[in-house]
Chain A
Amino acid sequence: MSAEVLYTFEVILNGLMAGVMYALVALGFVLIFKASGIFNYAQGVMALFAALTLVGLQNGQVPFAHLLNAIFGTDMHYFGWKLPTIGGVPVLAIVLAVFVMIFFAWAVERLVLKHLVNQEPIILFMATIGLAYFMEGFGDLMWGSDIKKLDVGLPQGGNLWLEEATAGWGGDAFYGFYIDNLDIWATLFAAILVITLVLFSQYTKTGRALRAVADDHQAALSVGISLRSIWVIVWSIAGFVALVAGIMWGAKLGVQFSLSLIALKALPVLMLGGFTSIPGAIVGGLIIGVGEKLFEFSIGPLIGGATENWFAYVLALLFLVFRPQGLFGEKIIERV
C-alpha cells in the first residue's frame, strides 16, 4: 500500500476518535433536550466545572480559598493532602465529582427548573445561559481561574506498539500509524459510556421513563412518573457525561476556561444529527470528526490551514440545507 493511502487512513482514524469525543459532548445536549425540551447552553461549562472539581478534590485544594482568605485574613490554598489513587487513577476524586454533579443536577431542578415549568423554550434557553455564566463564575470562585493540569493516570504520547507494528506497511515513506494513547483511551471510555447509556435507556425502568417523558408529559404522569425526579436524573446523567468529557478534554488541553468551548464543537454535531436523536449524535460526531480531519489534511495546506475551526459548521450548514430534520429526524411535513 502506498504511504499516501496509509496516511489518509491514519487521518480517518484520528478523525473517528475526535468524533467520538464530539459525540460525547453532543450526547449531553441530546439527553436534556429530549427529556425536557431545553437546549442546555451550560453543557460546556458543566464539563469545565466538573473537571475543575475533580482536579480541586484530587489536589486537596481549599474551595473558595480566595473568598475565605479575604474574609478571615488567612492564606490557605491547599489542605496539604492528595486523595489516594488506584494505579494512578484518581478513583476517589472521580466518585466524589460524580456526587457533586448529581448534587448540582438536584440544585438546578430545585432552584431553577421547578419555577419554569411550562414556560416557552426560549425562556428555558435563556435560563441555561444564565446558568452557564453563573457556573463559570462559581467555578472560578470555588477553584480559582489558573490553568490546571489534570492527570487521570492515562498514558500519553504516541502509541509505540501500534507505530512499530504498522511501520512496515507502506515502504520507506511510511513510519507507521501515529495515534495518541490518550485518544485511544478517551475513545474507549466514550464508546463504553455511549453504549451503557443506550442500554440503560432501552432496558431499564428509568430509561423507559426518560423516553416516556421525552415523548408525552401527560401520559408519563398518568403512569406515575414524576417529571421533576426525571429531570434530576437527566441532569445528573448529563452532568456525568460532562464529567467524562471534561476529564478527557481536560487531560488533553489542561483544565482551563477554554474547556467550556468544547460545547461549540457539539453544535455542528447537533445540526447534523438532530437534537433528539442519540444515534444521530454518535454518527454526526463521527462524520464531523472525520470530515474536518480529512479536509484539513487534503485541502488545508492549499488554503493556509486552520480549517478545523470552521469546517464543521460549513458541513453542518450544507446538511441543514438539504436535510433540515437532521440525519435521523423524521421528515417534517407541514400540514396545510
Chain B
Amino acid sequence: MMDGGSFVTPDGRTIGDVLMEVRNITLRFGGVVAIKDISFDIREGEIRAIIGPNGAGKSSMLNVINGFYHPQDGEIWFRGAKRGPMKPHAIAHQGIARTFQNIALFKGMSTLDNIMTGRFTKMRVPWWQQAIWTGPAEREEVENREIVEKIIDFLEIQAIRKTPVGRLPYGLQKRVELGRALAAEPKLLLLDEPMAGMNVEEKEDMSRFILDVNDEFGTTIALIEHDMGVVMDISDRVVVLDYGQKIGDGTPDEVRGNQDVIDAYLGVAHD
C-alpha cells in the first residue's frame, strides 16, 4: 500500500510520493550509538511524527536530516536523489527548514527581523548591491517584507512584530520560531518538540497552526512530540524510536497497538 505513488490514509487524506528517505542510518558519538540502522520515509504532504522516550535519538535524527550531524553509515535520499555529505546551510537552500527543541531564535532581534532571516534562501540580490541600496535590492526587501507580514498575520503575532524576541514568553517564542521556518517556504519542515513546555491552550493553538500550514500550503512536516494525544490527533504516520532503534512505524492506530511500543512507553525492561 505504501510503495510508490500516492495513497489514502484512514482519515481520507491523500498522501503523495516519497519526499525524504533515510536508509540504514547509524550515528555514533564516541561509544554512544545515538541512532542504530534506522530507515523510514517521509511522504509529500503528510505530517509524520517521530516519537520515543527521552534519549531515543529523535533530535539526533532531525540533526542528521538537516545536516548538523553526519551519520557514520547509511544513505539519505531527498526528492528522488541521493544526498552526499552537505553543510547545513546548503541543505536549507534545498528546502529543508526547522525549529529547535531548545528554541534557537536571534534573541536580540525583533520578531519581524527573525522571520525576515527565514527568507534568507529566497533573497538573491548580491550584498554589494544591498550595501548601495540599488533598485533590485530595495524591491527584493519590500517584496519579502510583504510575505513576512502575511506570515505574521497567519500566526496572529502582529502585536509583537517589533519586540526583541528575547523578551517574549516561551510560547510566543516557539511561535516566532515556527514563523521563521515557514518563511523559507520549505518543502520539508522539521519541528523538534514544537509544543514542549506549553499549556493546553497554547498546545491547541500550535496544533491548529501546524494543521493549517500542512493544509493551506501543502507543506510536508516531520515533528517530534511527547504529547501522545497531540501526536495521535495530528499525524498521518508515526515512527517510534527507542534506544536509537526503530521499534514501530505506521498510522497512529497501528502504532498504538504495537506491543514493542507499549512496552517502551510503559518502561518494560529491555533485554
Binding site for B on A (CB under 8 A): 196, 200, 203-209, 211-212, 215-216, 218-227, 233
A221 near B89: Cβ-Cβ < 8 Å: yes
A298 and B118 alpha carbons, distance in the complex (Å)? 54
Q: Complex: how many Å from CA A98 to CA B123?
A: 25
CB distance B88 to A221 under 8 Å? yes
Taking the nearest CB of chain B, how far is it from the CB of A219, in angstroms? 4
Complex Cα spacing A211 to B87, Å: 20
* Interface window among B2-10, B19-27, B91-99: B91-99
* Chain B residues bordering chain A, tally (CB within 8 A): 36
Docked-complex contact A212 and B130, CB < 8 angstroms? no
Which chain B positions have C-beta within 8 A of A227?
89
Q: Which of B104-112, B204-212, B229-237 is the contact stretch?
A: B104-112
- Report yes or no: A204 in contact with B141, Cβ–Cβ below 8 A: yes
Whether a CB of chain A sits under 8 angstroms from the CB of B265 is no
Pairwise interchain contact B109-A223, C-beta atoms closer than 8 A: no
Which residues from A are CB-within-8-Å of B195?
Answer: none
Chain A residues near B119 (CB-CB < 8 A): 205
Query: In the complex, which of the residues A204, A205, A215, A222 contacts B88, with contact meaning CB atoms closer than 8 Å?
Result: A222
CA distance A200 to B92 in the complex (A): 24
Provided the pairs A205-B123, A208-B113, A225-B120 are in contact, do residues A219 and B100 lie with their beta carbons within 8 angstroms? yes
Q: Is the CB of A224 within 8 A of B184?
A: yes
B residues adjacent to A (C-beta < 8 A): 66, 68, 87-90, 92-93, 97-98, 100, 104-109, 113, 116-121, 123, 125, 127, 130-131, 133, 137, 140-141, 144, 180, 184
Cβ distance B62 to chain A, nearest Cβ, rounded Å: 10
- Which B residues touch A233, using CB under 8 A? 127
Closest to A200 in B: B131
Flag if A223 contacts B180 (CB, 8 Å).
Answer: yes
| B66 engages A222 (CB within 8 Å) | yes
CB < 8 Å: which of B106, B123, B130, B141 contacts A215?
Answer: B106
CB contacts (< 8 Å) of B98 on chain A: these are 222
Q: Within the assembled complex, what's the spacing in Å between the Cα atoms of A220 and B113? A: 13
Q: How far is the CB of B222 from chain A (nearest CB, A)?
A: 14
Whole-angstrom distance from the CB of B140 to the nearest CB of chain A?
8
Task: Say whether A218 contacts B100, CB under 8 Å.
Answer: yes
How far is it, in angstroms, between the C-alpha of A220 and the C-alpha of B106 when the chains are bound? 8
B130 contact from A206, A219, A224, Cβ within 8 A: A206
User: Is B100 a contact of A207 with CB atoms below 8 Å?
Assistant: no
Q: A212 to B106, Cβ gap below 8 A?
A: yes
Report the nearest A residue to B165, measured CB to CB: A215
From A212, A222, A224, A225, name the one whose CB has the most chain B CB atoms within 10 angstroms. A222
Q: Known contacts A204-B137, A205-B141; is A223 also within 8 Å of B105 by CB?
A: no
Contact A223 B141, beta carbon cutoff 8 Å? no
Q: Are A221 and B100 neighbours in the complex by a CB distance under 8 Å?
A: no
In the bound complex, do residue A204 and residue B130 qualify as a contact, i.e. CB atoms below 8 Å apart? yes
CB-based contact A212/B109 at 8 Å: yes
8 contacts between A and B (CB under 8 A): A205-B144, A211-B113, A218-B100, A219-B105, A222-B92, A222-B104, A224-B120, A226-B90
A205 to B120, CA, bound (A): 7
Identity of the chain A residue whose Cβ is nearest the Cβ of B144 in the assembled complex: A205
Contacts of A212 in B (CB 8 A): 106, 109, 117
Provided the pairs A200-B130, A222-B97 are in contact, do residues A215 and B109 lie with their beta carbons within 8 angstroms? yes
Q: Which residue in chain A gives the minimum CB-CB distance to B109?
A: A211
Bound: A208/B113 CA distance, A: 7
Complex CA gap A218/B100 in Å reads 10
Take A209-B120, A212-B109 as given contacts and tell me if A221 and B130 are in contact as well, using a CB distance cutoff of 8 Å: no
Q: Most chain-A Cβ atoms within 10 A of its Cβ — which of B68, B113, B131? A: B131
Known: A223-B184, A225-B120. A203 touches B106 (CB 8 A): no
When distances are taken between beta carbons in the complex, the residues of chain A under 8 Å from B116 are: 205, 208
Cβ-defined contact, A206 with B127, below 8 A: yes
Question: Inside 8 A of A226's CB, which chain B residues have their CB?
Answer: 87, 89-90
Q: Are B106 and A224 in contact (CB under 8 A)?
A: no
| Additional 6 contacts, C-beta under 8 A, given A218-B68, A221-B89, A223-B117 | A200-B131, A207-B130, A215-B106, A220-B89, A220-B106, A225-B89
Q: How far is the CA of A203 from the CA of B125 in the complex (A)?
A: 14
What residue in chain A is nearest B119 (Cβ atoms)?
A205
Question: Given A208-B117, A211-B106, A224 and B100 touching (CB < 8 A)?
Answer: no
| Residues in A neighbouring B118, C-beta threshold 8 A | 223
Per the bound structure, the CA–CA distance linking A22 and B264 in Å amounts to 63
A254 to B226: give the CA distance in the assembly, Å: 67
**Bound CA–CA A209/B109 (angstroms):** 11
The CA-CA distance from A12 to B52 in the complex, in Å, is: 67
Counting chain A CB atoms within 10 Å of each CB, the highest count among B68, B108, B117 belongs to B117
In the complex, the chain B residue whose C-beta lies closest to that of A219 is B104
Q: Is the CB of A216 within 8 A of B92?
A: no
Chain A residues with CB under 8 Å of B105's CB are 216, 219
CB <8 Å contact, B113 and A205: no
A227–B180 Cα gap in the complex (Å)?
18
Task: List the B side residues contacting A200 at CB < 8 Å.
Answer: 130-131
Output the least CB separation between A277 and chain B (Å): 10
User: What distance in Å separates the Cβ of A41 from its nearest Cβ neighbour in chain B?
Assistant: 26
* Bound-state Cα–Cα, A222 to B144, Å: 19
Tell whether, in the assembled complex, residue B127 and residue A224 are in contact, meaning their CB atoms are under 8 Å apart: no
For the complex, give the distance between the alpha carbons of A327 and B180 in Å: 31
CA distance A196 to B109 in the complex (A): 19
